[in-house]
Amino acid sequence: MVLASDTTTGAADHATAIEAWSAKLLQELPPAVGVLADVQRRGRAALEALPLPRRHQEDWRFTDLGGLTALSPRWDAAPVAPPADWPPAAPGVTRLWLDGRSDPLAGVELPPGLRPLAPLELSQALGHTLAAVGAEHHWPVAFNHASAGDCLALRVSGREIVQLELVSAACNDQAVLPLRVLVVVEEKAQLELTQVLLGSAASLTSLILELHLGRKAAVNHGLLALGEAPASLLAHVAVEQEPQSRYQFTSASRGWALSRLEPRISQVSGAAHTHLAGLQLAEQHQVADTHAWVRFEGPDGNLEQLHKAIADDHGRSIFNGAVRVPRAAQRTNAAQLSRNLLLSNLARIDTKPELEIVADDVRCAHGATVSRLQLDELFYLQSRGIDAELAASLLKRGFCAEVLKGLPAAAAVWEPLARVLQPGSALSAPERRP
Amino acid sequence: MIRPDAELLLQITDLHARVEDQPILKGVNLEIRAGEIHAVMGRNGSGKSTLSKVLAGHPSYRVTSGSVRYRGEDLLALPPEERARMGVFLGFQYPIEIPGVSNLEFLRVATNARRGQKGQEELDTFAFEDLVNERLKVVQMDPAFLERSVNEGFSGGEKKRNEILQMALLEPLVAILDETDSGLDIDALRIVAGGVNQLATADNATLLITHYQRLLEVITPDYVHVMAAGRILRTGGKELALELEERGYDWVDEELAALELSENARTPLEVA
């Protein structure tokens, strides 16, 4: 994927190319049908009015979507079957295959406490969380609205922990996989949600996941985004938390030519607990971007956020961590840390905390570090007979493991650490070490 | 144990080294044979820690002249990992914390690197666990520390025990212990020193770097060297440590001043 040049003529040509691409995209989309027909129509109208984000927009300063114009989406392509070599789901885990076309629930027996939303419930709930987190008018959201033909909508209730795994793969040339998921977690219900997004070839995965957590609900959410350039990923994870709910989100992404992950969380009346841990790798010419946003709409909210990135080769990592603490959010306790490893002279890391604090009685800490592998740590390992290369890979593993340990237990079958760190593609099963 | 016919393990000759542009070692000479325990004492800044790091191959230190031969081979030509695999061990004054790297795995990888060098087969996880559980006894260490990240959140004493555990697993021929006694209370000191004593044999040698005499009450050295201004000023038996304890380091300054005077006096002659 070629990054846009910033020269004036180049930029003008670029803009024209993007407009032409957007127009063609809209023309070629299949007619709006099904439960999301209205959403599709609105999304298409929005796309028409909304230009592709450009780098002069603050939110897109470091991330150029221009590369998407190389895609000529094939909307008529046949649905893709699950990969033959995927690992079996962990015991007790309900695995659903999302191909954007067929019904993921067909032939699946759902466990107690998990059921699909009725059409009326869906129409009431869909889009509510996106609006609450202020993401309705984002281009990737409009794109998903315009193109997603179906929505997986589930309700979690009861006292049993529901273990759900969602797997998708966009692995064909010119494939666009729009995924729309909505999960309502009722009061006191508990969900472990593992999501695995696989992508390869010149493809685009577009995800909108809306999660609503009722009072005292607990969700442990893991997102394992394993790509292989030139595949791209645009993902919005929108979450509303009622008081005393706990939401833990652990994400790991690697390998995408371009990935943009936007976890956006609203504590609707404060007094909830949010734990965000992210890991992203940007190698070769990859661009890995996380724009996180957390807003407290009431007092006594908690946020713990750790974002880690490794940039190597010509890779580029971007992290923007917005935290909004309005006047109503007294006694908010928020801590954000961004830790980055810069492993090449040509790689680049941009990290930015963005705290807006109006309430006066709050504790909001933030910090960021960018470093190379620590010389003393390397020397310590070497002084025990471990060669420099293995020492460096042990240190990288240690760096990543701190985030990955937060993934739901069900994610273990995917061997996240091995896949994130293995050379070459993250899609294939890791090679056995002797 | 002094045996004049024992193998000469380490031979340091006129070693000069710098950190950044600062000369620290200014002509260190030292010979260590199998079976011997040497103690290097000296004030802060005398160069004793630098000596240990230079021997282990720390990249921040640059040798400007002199030589170090380890069992006849040029030690300085080897990268740190090869020195370790061949049997040179540095016990760190401040062991490094490595978050996210399991202590057990670290110990296994290190042990196998050393075993490979010795032509022994690598140990799988199970065989290694048997070995490590046996060696834990040397330092009376709780197996729970194996499950944690390397040194992360360990107390000072636990870190030093972990160092001696590594020594017990790697079975070095020359163990350099840099201020292993620092930051230890008396019980921890006894356990750590006890570990060192258990590991000392007729075939290996130990070089203790220390500031205080108290370590030498529990580990009896065959030789004590006093280091100052980047070289070994005086060598004696264990009674030299007692003398230092009694008289302090002030006499070292006097001796050093006298030495520098005589050197300065000699210099014009040499030039002429």
Task: Kindly tell me the burial class for residue B272, based on how many C-beta atoms sit within 10 Å of its own C-beta (0-12, 13-18, 19 or more).
Answer: exposed
pLDDT, averaged across chain A: 92
pLDDT in tens, A101-132: 889 999 999 999 999 999 999 999 999 999 99
Please state, in angstroms and as integers, the Cα–Cα distance from residue A110 to each residue in A63, A93, A94, following that order. 40, 10, 7
Chain B residue numbers with beta carbons less than 8 Å from the beta carbon of A416 are: none
In a domain, B231, yes or no: yes
Buried residues in A91-115 as b, exposed as e (16+ CB within 10 A)? eebbbbbbbbeeebeeeeeebebbe
User: Taking phi first (over 0 means left), then psi (-120 to 50 degrees means alpha), and beta for anything else, what does residue B110 get?
Assistant: alpha
In a domain, A4, yes or no: no
Task: Kindly tell me the burial class for residue A266, based on how many C-beta atoms sit within 10 Å of its own C-beta (0-12, 13-18, 19 or more).
Answer: buried
Q: Is the Cα dihedral B222, B227, B232, B233 positive or negative?
A: negative
Residue A433 has pLDDT above 70, yes or no: no
**Distance from the A241 Cα atom to the nearest Cα atom in chain B, whole angstroms:** 31
**Distance from the A238 Cα atom to the nearest Cα atom in chain B, whole angstroms:** 30
Domain span holding position B65: 8-266
A409–B contact, CB cutoff 8 A:
no
Token pair of A353 as six digits: 């905390």
Please state, in angstroms and as integers, the Cα–Cα distance from residue A112 to each residue in A154, A158, A162, A188, A308, following that order. 12, 8, 8, 15, 36
Average pLDDT on A274-297 reads 98
In a domain, B2, yes or no: no
pLDDT in tens, B210-229: 988 889 999 999 999 999 99
Tell me what pLDDT residue B262 has.
Answer: 77
What's the N-to-C CA distance of chain B in angstroms? 46
Cα B91 to Cα B168: distance, rounded to the nearest angstrom: 11
Cα B214 to Cα B216: distance, rounded to the nearest angstrom: 5
In a domain, A5, yes or no: no
Residue A431 has pLDDT above 80, yes or no: no
In a domain, B1, yes or no: no
Q: Which residues of B touch chain A, with CB atoms under 8 Å apart?
A: 56-60, 79-85, 89-90, 92, 95-96, 98-101, 105-106, 109-110, 113-114, 117, 149, 166, 170
In a domain, A205, yes or no: yes
- Provide the 3-class DSSP secondary structure of residue A215: coil
**Distance from the A342 Cα atom to the nearest Cα atom in chain B, whole angstroms:** 17
In a domain, B27, yes or no: yes
In a domain, A404, yes or no: yes
* A6 or A156, which is more confident: A156
- Beta-carbon separation of B81 and A398 below 8 A: no
In a domain, A97, yes or no: yes
Domain span holding position A125: 11-421
In a domain, A1, yes or no: no
- Beta-carbon separation of A377 and B96 below 8 A: yes
In a domain, A355, yes or no: yes
Instruction: Return the biggest CA–CA distance within chain A.
Output: 65
Give the confidence band of A9 by pLDDT, cuts at 50, 70, 90: low
Q: Which of B81, B117, B170 sits opposite A388 (nearest CB)?
A: B81
- At what angle are helices B103-117 and B125-136 packed, to 10 degrees? 100
A377–B contact, CB cutoff 8 A:
yes
Give the number of other CB atoms < 10 A from CB of residue A166: 23
In a domain, B3, yes or no: no
Q: Which residues of chain B have pLDDT under 70?
A: 265-272
A432–B contact, CB cutoff 8 A:
no
pLDDT in tens, A226-251: 999 999 999 999 999 999 999 999 99
pLDDT in tens, A144-188: 999 999 999 999 999 999 999 999 999 899 999 999 999 999 999
In a domain, B214, yes or no: yes
Tell me what pLDDT residue A3 has.
Answer: 41
Give the confidence band of A10 by pLDDT, cuts at 50, 70, 90: low
In a domain, A428, yes or no: no
Give the confidence band of A66 by pLDDT, cuts at 50, 70, 90: confident
Give the confidence band of A2 by pLDDT, cuts at 50, 70, 90: very low
Lateral strand order in the sheet of B22-33: B22-33, B8-19, B61-70, B73-74
Cα B25 to Cα A339: distance, rounded to the nearest angstrom: 37
Tell me what pLDDT residue B269 has.
Answer: 45
Task: Name the DSSP letter for residue A432.
Answer: P
Tell me what pLDDT residue B270 has.
Answer: 43
Give the side-chain half-sphere CA count within 13 A for A392. 9
**Structural domains in chain B (count):** 1
pLDDT in tens, A298-345: 999 999 999 999 999 999 999 999 999 999 999 999 999 999 999 999
In a domain, B223, yes or no: yes
**Distance from the B65 Cα atom to the nearest Cα atom in chain A, whole angstroms:** 22
Cα A96 to Cα A154: distance, rounded to the nearest angstrom: 12
In a domain, B271, yes or no: no
Residue A285 has pLDDT above 60, yes or no: yes
Give the number of other CB atoms < 10 A from CB of residue B1: 13
Strands A287-296, A316-325: pairing kind: parallel
Cα B214 to Cα B211: distance, rounded to the nearest angstrom: 9
Contact A421/A396 with Cβ under 8 angstroms? Answer: yes
Give the confidence band of A434 by pLDDT, cuts at 50, 70, 90: very low
SS (H, E, C) chain B: CCCCCCCEEEEEEEEEEEECCEEEEEEEEEEEECCCEEEEEECCCCCHHHHHHHHHCCCCEEEEEEEEEECCEEHHHCCHHHHHHHCEEEECCCCCCEEEEEHHHHHHHHHHHHHHHCCCCCCCHHHHHHHHHHHHHHHCCCCHHHHCEECCCCCHHHHHHHHHHHHHHHCCCEEEEECCCCCCCHHHHHHHHHHHHHHCCCCCEEEEEECCCHHHHHCCCCEEEEEECCEEEEEECHHHHHHHHHHCCHHHHHHHHHHHHHHHHHHHHHHC
A388–B contact, CB cutoff 8 A:
yes
Tell me what pLDDT residue B271 has.
Answer: 41
What's the gap between Cα B149 and its chain centre? 24
Buried residues in A173-187 as b, exposed as e (16+ CB within 10 A)? eebbbbbbbbbbbbe
What's the gap between Cα A256 and its chain centre? 12
Which residues, in sequence order, are CB contacts of A31 under 8 Å at separation 6+? none
**Structural domains in chain A (count):** 1
> What are the contacts of A102-105 at 24+ separation with CB within 8 A?
A103/A150, A104/A152, A104/A166, A105/A152
When scoring B20, B55, B58, B101 by the number of chain A Cβ atoms within 10 A, the one with the most, hence best to mutate, is B101
CATH number at residue B188: 3.40.50.300
Chain B residue numbers with beta carbons less than 8 Å from the beta carbon of A392 are: none
Residue A8 has pLDDT above 60, yes or no: no
